[in-house]
Amino acid sequence: MEYAVCYDHSGLNLAWSIFLDITAFLALMAPLAVARLIAISRADAGAKLQPA
């Protein structure tokens, strides 16, 4: 008995899917990383401005 294949399971499609997943993850994480770097740089700048 043969089953209909609704999705092409070729290596190219798998690689493209993985690439899109990684790209989406990085696109979501980048703003969080930038916000964290800004927060760290502001904390360091505030510490440098305090008188000794």
For the stretch 8-45, pLDDT in tens is: 667 888 888 899 999 999 999 999 999 999 998 887 76
User: What pLDDT, on a 0 to 100 scale, did the predictor assign at position 8?
Assistant: 62
Alpha carbons 23 and 14: distance in angstroms, whole number: 14
Residue partners of 34: CB distance under 8 A and separation at least 6 = none
Of the pLDDT bands very low, low, confident and very high (cuts 50, 70, 90), residue 46 is low
Question: Which helix H or strand E contains 6, and what residues bound it?
Answer: none
Handedness of CA 43, 45, 48, 49 (dihedral sign): negative
Place of tokens 């043969």: 2
Q: Is the pTM of this model over 0.75?
A: no
